[in-house]
Amino acid sequence: ATPTAIMVGTGLGAERGVLFKNATALEDAARIDVVVMDKTGTLTTGAPEVTDVITAPGTDSGRVLALAAAVELESEHPLAEAIVDYAKAHGVPTFSATDFENVAGRGARATVDGQYVIVGNRGLLDADHIELGELAKHRDELAASGHTAVLVAVDGHAQAVIALADAPRPNSADAVRALHELGVGVVMLTGDNTGTAERIAHDLGIDTVIADVLPEDKADRIADLQRTGKKVAMVGDGVNDAPALARADLGIAIGAGTDVAIQTADVVLMRSDPYAVSTALRIGRGTVHKEH
Ligand code: ADP
Ligand code: MG
């Protein structure tokens, strides 16, 4: 693109809340075939709330919530924050955790009040060969309705499912539609489980879902798509998205995202509005078009 076209494109972007970091970003935006979007914090607000706590028969629900909250107090994950807030609001006793261990993309473990407590997803409980028993059915139902189900195990026994809901951003469905209108494919990429991810994707009009992805594997999933000959943009907000943002042909960060995501990206959406992804691609196409 000519220097003038680049200047015009950058200015247009700034007006519409799309910050292109350089000329290459504008040119790459013109050639994107597929947009991969992180779920939590990108398509959703990233501020989940606890909607239900379901306990196994014979479990003291106040105590299991207190134990889970004590572990999550040590974690910085948005799900952890929601669980701590819910426990506080319900006035459960406060314990402190020792031997805390964070397991990226899975959950956390610690010793609380003399018991070994695991809080996280299915994979984390599987690692300790813990059976879900009665709770499996609840977990599947919650996932099917778009909830994230966090499991709690105490001394090797699954005792509760904590259901969390993370609302889609108001513009997410329109954002997907606008990309489809540009002839661009949309893929959801998430560390959340397949059931939950597929339900939310369906509601937003996204037909391709890559779920249950560990943070360190997100960049590999981008590379897989690139190997099919496609130019891939990645949209994300989290620390765990940074390698994928770097790997993509165009990395796009949500403005309210983490510093690492914003620094790594080629484009920043200042208003944290996923609709601006289509705006970015349209501006890119306009800029490159002016060459000819
Ligand atoms: P995303 O890619 O959707 O932003 P993450 O990779 O951060 O998600 O986490 C993936 C999954 O791991 C979560 O959906 C949750 O099931 C589980 N998980 C991660 N950290 C925690 C935690 N501190 N407490 C409970 N569950 C967690
Ligand atoms: Mg995220």
Q: Is 75 in the pocket of ligand 1 (CB under 6 A)?
A: yes
Catalytic residue positions? 38
Mutate to test the pocket of ligand 1, among 75, 79, 235 (most ligand atoms within 8 A of CB): 79
Let me know: does 203 contact 173? Beta carbons within 8 Å.
yes
Q: Angle CA(114)–CA(115)–CA(121) in degrees, nearest 5?
A: 150
CATH number belonging to the domain at 49-165, selected among 1.20.1420.20, 3.40.1110.10, 3.90.1150.10, 3.20.20.150: 3.40.1110.10
Question: How far is CA 247 from its chain centroid?
Answer: 17
Whether the domain at 3-45+168-289 and the domain at 49-165 fall into the same CATH topology: no
Give how far Cα 122 sits from Cα of 107, 143, 148, 160, Å: 10, 12, 11, 12
Average pLDDT over residues 66-82: 95
Class of 3-45+168-289 per CATH? alpha beta
Q: Is 257 in the pocket of ligand 1 (CB under 6 A)?
A: no
Atom of ligand 1 nearest to the CA of 75: 23
Which residues face 186 on adjacent strands? 35
Ligand nearest to the CA of 169: 2
Token digits for 207? 């037909």
- Report how far residue 57's alpha carbon sits from residue 31's, in angstroms, rounded to the nearest whole number: 55
DSSP element (H, E) containing 224: helix 218-227
What's the CA-to-centroid distance between 133 and ligand 2, angstroms?
Answer: 30
Question: What sections of 106-190 are H helices per DSSP?
Answer: 122-127, 135-144, 172-181
Percent of the chain with pLDDT over 90: 93
Higher-pLDDT residue of 216, 263: 263
pLDDT tens digits, 3-54: 999 999 999 999 999 999 999 999 999 999 999 999 999 999 989 999 999 9
Q: Is 28 in the pocket of ligand 1 (CB under 6 A)?
A: no
What's the CA-to-centroid distance between 166 and ligand 2, angstroms?
Answer: 11
- Report how far residue 22's alpha carbon sits from residue 187's, in angstroms, rounded to the nearest whole number: 25
Q: Is 106 in the pocket of ligand 1 (CB under 6 A)?
A: yes
Q: Domain map of the chain by residue range?
A: 3-45+168-289, 49-165
Spatial CB neighbours of 243, under 8 Å, sequence gap ≥ 6: 216, 218, 219
Let me know: does 68 contact 162? Beta carbons within 8 Å.
yes
Residue 264, pLDDT above cutoff 60: yes
What's the CA-to-centroid distance between 290 and ligand 2, angstroms?
Answer: 35
Beta-carbon-side half-sphere exposure of residue 184 (alpha carbons within 13 Å): 28
Atom of ligand 1 nearest to the CA of 106: 12
Output the pLDDT for position 184.
98
What's the CA-to-centroid distance between 249 and ligand 1, angstroms?
Answer: 26
Residue 291, pLDDT above cutoff 60: no
pLDDT tens digits, 89-148: 999 999 999 999 999 889 999 999 999 999 999 999 999 999 999 999 999 999 999 999
pLDDT tens digits, 168-201: 999 999 999 999 999 999 999 999 999 999 999 9
Confidence of residue 289 (pLDDT cuts 50, 70, 90): confident
What's the CA-to-centroid distance between 197 and ligand 2, angstroms?
Answer: 13
**0.85 surpassed by complex ipTM:** yes
- Report how far residue 50's alpha carbon sits from residue 48's, in angstroms, rounded to the nearest whole number: 7
Output the pLDDT for position 292.
43
Mutate to test the pocket of ligand 1, among 39, 40, 245 (most ligand atoms within 8 A of CB): 40
Written as one string, the DSSP assignment of 25-52 is HHHHHTT--EEEEEIIIIIB-S--EEEE
**Three-state SS string across 233-284, please?**
EEEECCHHHHHHHHHCCEEEEECCCCHHHHHHCCEEECCCCCCHHHHHHHHH
Beta-carbon-side half-sphere exposure of residue 275 (alpha carbons within 13 Å): 9
Q: Is 43 in the pocket of ligand 1 (CB under 6 A)?
A: no
Handedness of CA 43, 45, 50, 51 (dihedral sign): negative
- Report how far residue 80's alpha carbon sits from residue 152's, in angstroms, rounded to the nearest whole number: 12
Beta-carbon-side half-sphere exposure of residue 39 (alpha carbons within 13 Å): 32
Q: Is 40 in the pocket of ligand 1 (CB under 6 A)?
A: yes
Q: Ligand 1 atom 8: the closest Cα is on which residue?
A: 191
pLDDT tens digits, 224-260: 999 999 999 999 999 899 999 999 999 999 999 999 9
Rounded to 5 degrees, what are φ and ψ at 26?
-65, -45
β-bridge pairing 185-189 and 208-210: parallel
Token digits for 64? 């299991």
- Report how far residue 57's alpha carbon sits from residue 51's, in angstroms, rounded to the nearest whole number: 19
Q: Is 279 in the pocket of ligand 1 (CB under 6 A)?
A: no
Confidence of residue 1 (pLDDT cuts 50, 70, 90): confident
